[in-house]
Amino acid sequence: MAGRPALPGVSGRLPDFPWDHLAPHAARAREHADGIVDLSVGTPVDATPQVAIDALAGAADSPGYPVTIGRVETRQAILDWMERRLGVSGLGLDAVLPVIGSKELIASLALHLGVGTGDLVVYPRLAYPTYEVGAALAGARTLAADSLTAIGPEVPRLLWINSPSNPTGKVLPPDHLRKVVDWCRQRGTLLVSDECYIEMAWDPQNRPVSVLHPDICGGSTEGILAVHSLSKRSNLAGYRCAFVAGDPSVVGELLAVRKNLGLQMPGPQQVAMVPTLADDTHVVAQHARYAARRAKLREALERAGFRIDNSEASLYLWASRDEDCWETVTWLAERGILVAPGAFYGAAGAQHVRVAFTATDERVDAAVARLA
């Protein structure tokens, strides 16, 4: 209607969506005679496990509204998985909450917990961009810092850690995790650990540990949350199955907000999570697929003059030729290979690129041949 003032919106608060800047390089890579090898995004390409498909199909007749808190069976399956795979014990059903994909939870968490103008949110110097997006959405200030001393005297409302890291694949050692837990508890800062790649580890000497492991948190979840996803471990990115676990009082606050907003994981997906979390066979098989692709790409990149830093876990190789990352992106795009520039994840990534090894075997082999 003419004369009506425009709604202010929030898009002006948010950083640019980084992948928009990659579009010209994607177009260049698609010009390759044998097609593009897209290693820019860590999206699964292998089949969804049959155990998940069967469970989803069996629960397809779902006429009623799902419960926001999650089915008891789903939450118990989460607790059983955390104890079996991560050594996390002692949590009750009130300490876990299924959510509609981890990105939605990460982006909305600060806002839903009342973080706002004047508050400080801290996240790693090289980080998944959604930590910053979530803080901006809440109107909070941000600081990218890897050490506690770099934070200074100010007390953050929220501190993100990410191990294994996206984009670098770095694993935080137990001593560091314990130090962060103690530091946050002493100051009343909420610690949130993004652990979505925790089952994708490649170095037996450097295994990731959950912040909720009793050796790290002292057997108490006070002031701590951990975020997990089935997207990577189980090829369920399309199902949007994830969960948050930790301090029951914080989980309860999230639940209260999500009830009011109607943020409910669909019932069939909740059912599908139960057998999928209980089955380790498909996870072991998928891990082996990724290990083979990772080894091929790493060898090919190193032969082509790249250095691989960190990368002991996650689904990425953090690669550098000690040049501006966009020069590397261009060089690879000319060979039909698309990767993510390290600058997407912070200024500290300006000389690296993130190379996903989630492409099919055929596309990985094509990339290896082109790098040769």
Token pair in block for residue 162: 């990410």
Q: Where in the chain is the domain with CATH 3.40.640.10?
A: 50-278
In the CATH scheme, what architecture does the domain 50-278 have? Answer: 3-Layer(aba) Sandwich (3.40)
* Residues whose CB falls within 8 Å of the CB of residue 365, separated by 6 or more in sequence, listed in order: 296
* Superfamily of domain 13-47+282-371 in the CATH hierarchy: Aspartate Aminotransferase, domain 1 (3.90.1150.10)
| Residue 337 φ/ψ, nearest 5 degrees | -115, 125
Specify the DSSP class assigned to residue 64: S
pTM, entire model? 0.94
CA nearest to 13, candidates 154, 146, 110, 102? 110
| Whole-Å CA distances, 287 to 106, 281, 291, 352, 357 | 25, 10, 6, 25, 11
Residue-level pLDDT at 1: 45
What is the chain's pLDDT, residue by residue, as a tens digit (372 residues)? 455 555 556 666 666 677 788 999 999 999 999 999 999 999 999 999 999 999 999 999 999 999 999 999 999 999 999 999 999 999 999 999 999 999 999 999 999 999 999 999 999 999 999 999 999 999 999 999 999 999 999 999 999 999 999 999 999 999 999 999 999 999 999 999 999 999 999 999 899 999 999 999 999 999 999 999 999 999 999 999 999 999 999 999 999 999 999 999 999 999 999 999 999 999 999 999 999 999 999 999 999 999 999 999 999 999 999 999 999 999 999 999 999 999 999 999 999 999 999 999 999 999 999 999
Rounded Cα distance, 293 and 129, in Å = 26
* Collapsed DSSP state (helix, strand, coil) of residue 18: helix
Give helix 248-261 / helix 102-112 axis angle, nearest 10°.
100
Beta bridge partners of 47: none
CA atoms within 13 A on the CB side of 136: 13
Angle at 351 between CA 179 and CA 303, to 5 degrees: 105
Do 113 and 158 form a contact (C-beta atoms < 8 A)?
Answer: yes
Rounded Cα–Cα distance for residues 38 and 308 (Å) = 19
Contact (Cβ atoms closer than 8 angstroms) between residue 313 and residue 203: yes
Looking at the chain, which residues constitute the CATH 3.90.1150.10 domain(s)? 13-47+282-371
